[in-house]
Amino acid sequence: MPEGVVTPPPAFPRGEAVGRWEGMLRFMRSAGFRFALLFAVIFIGASALFALVLWYATAGSLDRQTDAAVRTDALGLIERWREGGPGAVSEAIADRLASDVEGTAIYLLLDANDARLAGNLDRWPPGLPPEATWTFGTVQREGAQIEARLYAIELGERYSLVVGRDVAEKQKLRTLLAEGIAWAAVAAAAFALLGAAVLRRAVEMRLRPAALTAQAIAAGDLSRRVPISQRADEFDRLGGSMNDMLERIDRLMAGVRGVSDSIAHDLRTPIARARAKLEEALGEQTDAETLRAAMEQGIADLDHITRVFGALLRIAEAEAGARRAAFAPLDLVPVLADVAEFYGAVAETGGQSIAVDLPVRLDVVGDRDLLAQAVGNLIDNALKFTPSGGSVRISARAPARERIDIVVEDTGPGLSATDRARAGERFFRADASRGTPGSGLGLSLVRAVAHLHGGDLFLEDASPGAPVRGLRATIRLGVA
Amino acid sequence: MRILLVEDDAEVARFVRKGLAEAGHNVEHAGNGRDGLFLAASEPFDILVLDRMLPGGVDGVRLVETLRAQGNRTPVLFLSALSAVDERVKGLKAGGDDYLVKPFAFAELLARVEVLARRPTMDAPATRLRIADLEMDLLARSVTRAGKRIEIQPREFRLLEHLLRHAGQVVTRTMLLEKVWDYHFDPQTNVIDVHVSRLRQKIDKGFDRPLIHTVRNAGYMIRAEA
């Protein structure tokens, strides 16, 4: 075989068939198909019931009318028989035939020798037993074959009587009706199938956006969201839930990204600095004292890194909701009073004052330590940026049944709108704060703690419009 | 003091052992939980310093649970890289007495070890604490120095009480934060220093002999001699 010539792979004729079969199976397994099938079954069942009722009310009613007429006729003739014997019956039959305008009545009276005494039948219907029975049969009347409903009785003394009605007209009506119902059944089946197909398609169409979004997300595009229609139906609710879930995942992912960014930046930088300093001290001709100072500095740098790391972990813990295990019912008031007192000493040394405005009691379910730390961070921030002589005000209240606001206000320079929007991002530090110590993680933690407690952190001007606008930070807790 | 250190990381173990020995303690070391449990159960120690995660099938928590089940009440200090609150609570619930997260400063470890090992015996609850001419009445909640009454706030009272209960021992800032305020977070600023300095103002100012001393790189200590 010359090189370059590749034998084509053997064809698998069964492959396609199997594929089609599997496709069929998948189609039948789809929820849309099942809904559609259910719809079709219910639709056809309802149509059948409808036809049944119709049949009973029309064709059935006609039959019953005929039977009633025959029975009345027969009873009347039996009465005559008892009163007057064969002669009276023959008379009565003749009368009735004479008054039968429609020409549908059938009578035949035979004597013991099977001789015809009266009636319009040529002979006894073949196969009809001479006792009280109802039958349908073909009879010979005045030379013509007709379809009739018959009732035969033996009157006594071997006289027998047959009473009947020509049902040809009614049969015709019946046939018409049956045909109509048959056509209606075909139409109903067609509608059922059409409806099923439409339903299946509708379900598929409504699910398609969600399915496409889920696929895109599975493929890694987390920015996709399920489009929500205006209908506010089940599918929209499902889509909404999916979007909420995606929002949460996105936030967590952003958090993870944020952590790696911040690890890259705010941990690497001090590590690099510490390393450089240590290396420098080692490389130069230095005396023991300098070396010692360098090592102490190195340890201080490492401690700083540890603290940043600890803060990051704590934020991550709060954001992941892992700290909910430490949730307990507690009264927020002493917690806040303690924190205010704790930082009060710092305020005093800085020439600032802390004012506290708390109600008698505020019940929450939460993590005492995290709440204290969050409020502590806010107070710490406020004290850092409030000049000497300024004041920080801590208040809390429950403006609504399931809400508690913890407010920390200061008389510092406040934050510009753009800084406010970015505050709370990890490691964000407004330009004004570059000179002060801090990791830039304080507000991130506050926000994470607020989220953990079903709330959020809000920042605004404490006194808008004033030359020194101050900052008002509100931790809003959702009381679960 | 006789101290049992159970720590699998050789470097940390060497460092802790050396430091404790330099501070005048007698340290036994086990590298895994099984050996640690054997030693702790068979020999008397003043304190156990345990890593939370240990090889050998017996981790720190299991070790303490086993010891406590045997009625061994030796104080236990956990060392752990697990800082989550749940982990801390788990360690303390199992019967640990204190919990120190890695990395730690040796001074912090030493201070905690000494405070734990010399825990005041609880059979005679003190109603008065005294050092030099400073006296604290725990029932009347009053403080006097050289017979002169000192006005003190409730939190300062607790701070002073804690220092006095561990007179002659180093108490670190974190220990004060945990024991006096029951906070387990980093307050970012030197709040503890500010509180101690306020207390110092009231206790030591105007007296020729200061009682509250700062221990460099470690914390504070209240003692009579300068």
User: What value does the mean pLDDT take over residues A397-423?
Assistant: 84
pLDDT at A283: 80
Q: Which pLDDT value is given to residue A354? A: 93
Structure tokens at A186: 């075909």
Average pLDDT, chain B: 89
What distance in Å separates residue A403's CA from the closest CA in chain B?
25
pLDDT of residue A445: 87
Answer whether B84 touches A (CB < 8 Å): yes
Q: Which residues of B touch A327 (CB under 8 A)?
A: none
Domains and CATH numbers, chain B: 2-117 (3.40.50.2300), 128-222 (1.10.10.10)
Query: For residue A438, what pLDDT is reported?
Result: 58
pTM (whole model) above 0.80: no
Strand order in the sheet with B134-137: B128-131, B134-137, B142-145, B148-150
Query: Is beta strand A391-400 parallel, antiparallel or unpaired with respect to A353-357?
Result: parallel
Q: What is the rounded CA–CA span in Å between residue B48 and residue B183? A: 24
Give the closest residue to A137 by CA, choosing from A151, A153, A155.
A151
Q: What is the mean pLDDT of residues A449-466?
A: 86
Chain A, nearest residue to B191 by Cα: A346
Domain ranges of chain A: 267-320, 324-478
Burial of B185-214, coded b for 16+ CB within 10 Å and e otherwise, reads bbbbbebbbbbbebbbebbbeeeeeebbbe
B86 touching chain A per CB within 8 A: yes
How much is the mean pLDDT over chain A? 82
Q: What is the pLDDT of residues A286-334, one digit of tens each?
A: 788 888 888 888 888 888 888 888 887 888 788 777 667 778 899 999 9
Q: Do B183 and A322 touch (CB under 8 A)?
A: no
Contact A345 B195 (CB under 8 A): yes
Any idea which of A13-27, A185-199, A397-411 has the lowest mean pLDDT? Answer: A13-27
* H helical segments located in B23-58: 33-42
Distance from CA of A327 to the nearest CA of B (A): 11
Q: Is the model's pLDDT at A475 over the cut of 80? A: yes
State yes or no: pLDDT of A378 exceeds 50.
yes
A-chain residues near B89 (CB < 8 A)? 326
What does the DSSP 8-state code read for residue A121?
B
Distance from CA of A425 to the nearest CA of B (A): 18
Task: State the alpha helices, DSSP H only, in chain B.
Answer: 10-22, 33-42, 60-69, 85-93, 106-117, 154-165, 173-180, 191-203
Instruction: Tell which of B90, B153, B185, B202 to mutate to test the A interface (max A CBs under 10 Å).
Output: B185
Two structure tokens written together for A292: 């010692």
B148 touches chain A (CB under 8 A): no
* pLDDT band, very low/low/confident/very high, at A259 (cuts 50, 70, 90): low
Q: According to the model, what pLDDT value does residue B158 have?
A: 93
Best of B183, B197, B202 to mutate (most A CBs within 10 Å, chain A): B183
Residue A14, token pair as written in the block: 């069964």
B38 confidence band (pLDDT: 50, 70, 90): very high
Domain A324-478 has CATH 3.30.565.10: yes
Q: Is the peptide bond before B103 cis (omega within 30 degrees of 0)?
A: yes
Strand order in the sheet with A144-156: A116-119, A105-110, A159-166, A144-156, A133-141
**CB-based contact A372 B191, cutoff 8 Å:** no
Task: State which H helix or E strand residue A476 sits in.
Answer: strand A471-478
Interface test with A, best of B155, B157, B186, B195 (most A CBs within 10 A): B186
Note the pLDDT of residue A11: 46
Conformation bin of residue B126: beta by default, left when phi > 0, alpha when psi is -120 to 50: beta
Q: Is it the case that residue A248 has pLDDT exceeding 70?
A: yes
Residues ≥6 apart with Cβ < 8 Å to A372: A335, A338, A339, B183, B185
Q: Which residues of B touch A274 (CB under 8 A)?
A: none
- Give the pLDDT score at A341: 92
Q: What is the rounded radius of gyration, in angstroms, for the C-alpha atoms of chain A?
A: 49
Q: Which of B 1-30 lie inside 8 A of A, CB atoms?
A: none
Q: Is B185 on the interface with A (CB under 8 A)?
A: yes
What tens digit of pLDDT does each residue of B142-155 get? 999 988 999 999 99
Residues in chain B closer than 8 A to A314 (CB atoms): 185
Look at residue A407 and tell me whether its pLDDT is greater than 90: yes
| pLDDT tens sequence across A133-177 | 788 877 877 777 888 888 888 887 788 888 888 888 888 888 888
B42 at A interface, C-beta within 8 A: no
Q: Report which listed range, A80-94, A460-474, B26-40, B87-101, is most confident.
A: B26-40
Question: Hey, what are A337's tokens?
Answer: 């009073």
pLDDT above 60 (res A10): no
